[in-house]
Structure 1
């Protein structure tokens, strides 16, 4: 059961590299990237690739929002001897320079989307707090993740339209996460199905890019507002400066009428001494990443699910025709603008990711059932 990776001094447990430190079926190790031109009229591209050692699967997806089009290409294959093989059919993730330069590629001919892009980091990779959650006795989340902002270079083709991607104007962020979270074929809920408060999911994950720094924000709450996670950090471009904890996160979200999509949000980061930083968030363009990519809406294609030795598919939807009820159970990644007011009253503008989801009841916003809308 050896692989070429066993020749490197990277072992973490008394096992070969292909055997991770837990036999939990839900162990995963994955990449996420987004790429934008800063204009909601241009493509808003999101790419992911995951390795699931205990399920024997590697899979990936690319989804682009362009106008009213939601275009997906996805692939899956049997995991071989080498977890470092990051190619699935026409997809490729290639580490050119660790924590600095990464190439992502989708060859033409597999749908209405292709690209060959290089991500070049413009800020240090920052480790986020550990994500841990237990429901009854079962550990459902136990993950680590780092985040990083950067610039893109290369070529992107969407629906027959070619875009020259230049680093001065094409930006984005990426993250790497690994650990345990629900993946693969759905498991029977058993007694957990009766514990509905624990299955409510309020989530904000935002990566804001400003001139001299990035700000990363994570909030996960239960129905009552009890925090599973809550963190806000300023990540300076200067690698010599440590990331700065900004304070406890407070949120005020307004919703688009008739659903649970955010129209705007105010985030406040409050220090124990009363110092406060305030950010006004304005979503510009939503990419509904739950549709077609494996995040759990479709039971025939979930991250880590066995699809056979190799399978590549493409699909597309009109965003205006996406099922409104299904969207209530769907995370969405918004290209957003941000206006930050610092402790000293100075303001600065930025742009980036505002990922948002509120699934199930949530007391602060008056949702009492899973299908309540504003």
Structure 2
């Protein structure tokens, strides 16, 4: 069962104080040669129905390395602004703040606050996430390969709305919950990250597969799914649920089968979805069709060092405090090649007559026996 305390850091460690009052974290779960123990916050939201303004934020805590890193990023009108930061955290290891950015759990499973103060990126914001649905528990994803533990991650998703403001190059946009739909997740465990930074080879090689990470929010429900297939219809893993508002008193409904028919954009640099359908079958026998239409906005996750960016990888010790800023022109060919595929792509979803919004992360590796039209572009 997910509890409000799960929103706090410290899942993999025992915290105590020395005689001089200093807080110390003693890791309880050791890193392995294949994975490092990671606790992570992740947030995304988009202004709808236009879908051209999308933001993301995240924070990772690596107890064994005594390192914390994070990012805040906004994409609007074909430009993306990003602030990234890392700090050593032998002192105050469970304070989720790095330089100008701070994440505050104001009330577990109900309200979080993401703040970015003055910095060199041209981006600042103060946004509060207000939960709209009960958390959607992904459970525990444990991967053992060749007798070796490769990953062991627990995670849950929660849909909600954001209020507050975002400032880009001195121009402030007020954000109201009725127009800013999104989600967040919370995860902890042994995590392996793919390396996709061309400046720091070798790159991770992917065997034939497809993955889809979908967050689709509607007025009265939310659908989240994480699907990996080794071949069309050959499921490696699937975690999928439909969640409801807390006051509904209704447990999440498990989705046990997903069939996909995806239409792709003609993009010379990355795999981008244009639209399509997801056919869902529930454990109780219900079926529904989720229709998708891409909106203009997308936000590259290189902002958060996913896969690494210019030699900086998640969990790297960059010293007492290290920050970096980016302002990317998303139409520039050199930038696009560097940013690759992995992104939050804003999608309008239809569930019967209900219209909702959210984002998709997805990709197809070479050799997967469907969607050959995009496999010449990087999967992630």
2:43 maps to 33
1:63 maps to 73
- Indicate conservation of the 8 Å contact 2:45/2:358, yes or no: no
User: How far apart are 1:14 and its partner, in Å?
Assistant: 8.1
1:230 maps to 238
RMSD (Å), alpha carbons: 3.2
User: How far apart are 1:313 and its partner, in Å?
Assistant: 1.1
CA distance in 1, matches of 2:375, 2:350: 33
* Normalised TM-score (structure 2): 0.83
Candidates 96, 100, 108, aligned match of 2:106: 96
Pairing 1:212–2:220 present:
yes
CA distance in 1, matches of 2:257, 2:316: 37
Summarize deviations over 1:42-89 as a string: whole Å, max 9, x none: 521100011011222100011211111011110000122443211100
User: How far apart are 1:353 and its partner, in Å?
Assistant: 1.7
Equivalent position SS for 1:320? coil
Summarize deviations over 1:300-326 as a string: whole Å, max 9, x none: 111111211111110111111154544
Equivalent position SS for 2:69? strand
Equivalent position SS for 2:162? strand
User: How far apart are 1:249 and its partner, in Å?
Assistant: 0.8
- Number of equivalences: 355
Pairing 1:314–2:325 present:
yes
Pairing 1:257–2:257 present:
no
CA distance in 2, matches of 1:142, 1:325: 31
User: How far apart are 1:218 and its partner, in Å?
Assistant: 1.3
User: How far apart are 1:150 and its partner, in Å?
Assistant: 1.3
Equivalent position SS for 1:291? helix
Residues 207 and 82 (structure 1), Cα distance of their counterparts in 2 relative to 1, 3 Å cut? same
- Indicate conservation of the 8 Å contact 1:255/1:262, yes or no: yes
CA distance in 1, matches of 2:87, 2:266: 41
Pairing 1:248–2:257 present:
yes
User: How far apart are 1:336 and its partner, in Å?
Assistant: 1.0
Q: After superposition, where does 1:1-374 map in structure 2 within 5 Å?
A: 18-24=26-32, 26-40=36-50, 42-183=52-193, 197=207, 200-222=208-230, 226-239=234-247, 240-259=249-268, 260-271=271-282, 275-323=286-334, 324-326=336-338, 329-341=340-352, 347-366=353-372, 371=377
CA distance in 1, matches of 2:369, 2:183: 32
Summarize deviations over 1:72-123 as a string: whole Å, max 9, x none: 1100001224432111000101111111111110002331110111111111
Residues 145 and 251 (structure 1), Cα distance of their counterparts in 2 relative to 1, 3 Å cut? same
- Indicate conservation of the 8 Å contact 2:76/2:297, yes or no: no
- Larger relative strand fraction: 2
Equivalent position SS for 1:363? coil
CA distance in 1, matches of 2:11, 2:374: 47
CA distance in 2, matches of 1:283, 1:337: 6
- Indicate conservation of the 8 Å contact 1:28/1:51, yes or no: yes
2:22 maps to none
Residues 50 and 322 (structure 1), Cα distance of their counterparts in 2 relative to 1, 3 Å cut? farther
- Indicate conservation of the 8 Å contact 1:225/1:364, yes or no: no
Equivalent position SS for 1:129? strand
2:20 maps to none
CA distance in 2, matches of 1:226, 1:113: 43
- Indicate conservation of the 8 Å contact 1:29/1:52, yes or no: yes
* Normalised TM-score (structure 1): 0.84
Equivalent position SS for 1:364? coil
User: How far apart are 1:185 and its partner, in Å?
Assistant: 8.8
CA distance in 2, matches of 1:280, 1:265: 6
User: How far apart are 1:135 and its partner, in Å?
Assistant: 3.9
CA distance in 2, matches of 1:236, 1:173: 13
